[in-house]
Structure 1
Amino acid sequence: MRIFVAGASGVVGRLLVPLLVAQGHEVTALSRRERAVGSDARTVVADVYDAPALRTVVAAARPEVVIHQLTDLTSRDFAANTRIRREGTRNLVDAALATGARRVISQSIAWAYEPGDTPAVESTPFDLSAADGGRRASVEAVAELESITAEAPEWVALRYGMLYGPNTWYTKGGLMADLAATGNLPTGPDITSFLHVEDAAHAAAAALHWPSGPVNIVDNAPAPATTWLPTFTESIGAPAPSPTPAASRTPWARGASNTHARTNLGWTPIHPTWRTGFLN
């Protein structure tokens, strides 16, 4: 199968590309810089905001499938990440459709859901009426990303949990490790669904054969920070967090359920829970 991977040098892409090559696919890997991604993939360089240039490299690859793993979070510039979800996705899907790709697989997120008391499922509405302006902008961009993705004849939106593992924020030397080491990572009741980057890559490869629609790709154990943070600090060699005064849970911080992926699609995470994943 001919596959075009956008965001090939990102934390998921650098694991996904060799996985696809090992499965026998013909992979073209897009990077915005001159950076080889190895694994016998063909590397091309283009800016996703340069629509004509992007269309040229996608057309040359003649992909049957386009996989969107584009993010822009290196410097915690959330406005830049919102832009890539909107404009980058628009340009990439336009290029895919113009060259006859039949399937688009896009990276989405599993914490854009409206408030609730149980882990969200795929049919749970997005939190498009969020009061917080920053969150509302992020959720609106995710909704637009998925809407654009759904223009493809076949499509999958992978709603990833909070990524941890090599080169993420949640690893030794990463952003959240630095905050935890200085006692600046909140310990409270807000619930997070995590996902190891290895599981994210394997889900993207499996989605080549999934039916169209959104899928929560999260581990089996959504948990509040009061529960997962001590294990995280242990994994990075930081002091155990100090107890904090009781607080109310942020209503939308509810976690997500992976029941659909496990039961209907046969996806099983290699790292079923952060309880062991953080320590590996």
Structure 2
Amino acid sequence: MRIFVAGATGVVGRPLVPLLMAAGHQVTGSSRTAEGAARLTALGATGVRADALDPAGLRAVVAAAEPEVVVHQLTDLSGADGAANGRLRREGTRHLVDAAAAAGVRRIVAQSICWAYAPGDGPAGEEVPLDDTPDEARARTVAAVRALERTAAELPDAVVLRYGLLYGPGTWYAPGGAVAAALAGERAVPFLGSTEADDAVSSFVHTADAASAVLAALDWPGGPVNIVDDEPAAARDWLPVLAAALGVPAPVPAAAAGRPGWARGASNALAARRGWRPGRPSWRSGFAAR
């Protein structure tokens, strides 16, 4: 199968491209830099330079690739800039879907997130609507996610993978990453949110497992699917384990104050029914193994 991976040198793209090629697919991967494109070519893929915010350039490289499937792994997280990432979700997705449609592509597998659900009790399934919160900062994030998912769904076969918090090489949760710096008190990262050991519940997924879900999703029915590990957990449980793995001080547990209603984690039951299982079922062992 001919596959175009947008964002092929990102934290999910890096394990994904070799995985797709090992499965026998012909891969064209895009990077914003010439160096990134060269790395993809060295792997045996076709590396191309493209900026998702340049619609004409993106359309040209997608058309040249003649893909049967487009994979959306576009993010702008390196600078911990929420506005830049939101713009990429809105405008970058718009340009990618337009380029795919112009090339006659019917199927897209797109990266989304699993912490945009409305408040409730227990891990959220895909039937839970996205949050309609009036909170300005969260509303901006959810609006960008909603725009991404709606735009992707304009193609006839759109699978939206709602990833948990990504950990693994190159992520904020890796040694030397933004979370390690925040826990060590070296710098504040506003876009990161709280690093308090409180009752807010999150779901995680390792980047290698996120990549394996893309491979599995190439023939899944359209719609959203949560891609998370088996153990949603409160920060007071997972943050000390992460701190130990990173070799930084564990945060002092926060006073019991409940949790935000939306901080509920997500269920991977639908993905499991479709045959996907995480290779790292829990952050408990995954953080240390990296």
Give the alignment's TM-score, normalised by structure 2. Answer: 0.94
Unaligned runs of 5+ in 1: none
Matches within 5 A, 1:94-243: 94-127=98-131, 129-182=132-185, 185-243=195-253
3-state DSSP of counterpart to 1:278: helix
**By how many angstroms is 1:260 displaced?**
0.6
> C-alpha deviations, 1:74-110, integer Å up to 9, x for none?
1111101000001100000010011011211100000
2:75 and 2:85 in contact (8 A); partners too: yes
**By how many angstroms is 1:272 displaced?**
0.3
| Partner Cα distance (2:218, 2:3) in 1 | 10
Residue 257 (str. 1) matches residue 267 (str. 2): yes
Unaligned runs of 5+ in 2: 189-194
Q: How many residues align?
A: 278
Residue number in structure 2 paired with 1:66: 70
Which of 279, 282, 286 is 1:270 aligned to?
Answer: 279
2:196 and 2:253 in contact (8 A); partners too: no
1:171 and 1:236 in contact (8 A); partners too: yes
1:21 and 1:39 in contact (8 A); partners too: no
| Partner Cα distance (1:241, 1:141) in 2 | 31
| Partner Cα distance (1:266, 1:99) in 2 | 30
**By how many angstroms is 1:181 displaced?**
2.3
3-state DSSP of counterpart to 1:159: strand
Matches within 5 A, 1:54-93: 54-93=58-97
3-state DSSP of counterpart to 2:43: coil
**By how many angstroms is 1:131 displaced?**
2.2
2:198 and 2:259 in contact (8 A); partners too: yes
Q: Which runs of 4+ in 1 moved over 6 A?
A: none
> C-alpha deviations, 1:180-221, integer Å up to 9, x for none?
223982110000001101100100111101111100000000
> C-alpha deviations, 1:95-137, integer Å up to 9, x for none?
001101121110000000000111100010000x212211101
> C-alpha deviations, 1:243-264, integer Å up to 9, x for none?
32221201110000001101x2
> C-alpha deviations, 1:211-241, integer Å up to 9, x for none?
1110000000000011111111110112232
| Partner Cα distance (2:201, 2:214) in 1 | 24
Which of 29, 32, 52 is 1:48 aligned to?
Answer: 52
Give the alignment's TM-score, normalised by structure 1. Answer: 0.97
| Partner Cα distance (1:240, 1:133) in 2 | 30
| Partner Cα distance (1:190, 1:46) in 2 | 38
**By how many angstroms is 1:12 displaced?**
0.4
**By how many angstroms is 1:179 displaced?**
1.3
| Partner Cα distance (1:4, 1:211) in 2 | 19
3-state DSSP of counterpart to 1:209: coil
| Partner Cα distance (1:222, 1:195) in 2 | 10
> C-alpha deviations, 1:40-99, integer Å up to 9, x for none?
000111111111111111000000000000000111111010000011000000100110
1:108 and 1:157 in contact (8 A); partners too: yes
| Bigger mean CA offset, 233-242 vs 18-27 | 233-242
Q: Percent identity?
A: 56
Give RMSD over aligned pairs.
Answer: 1.2
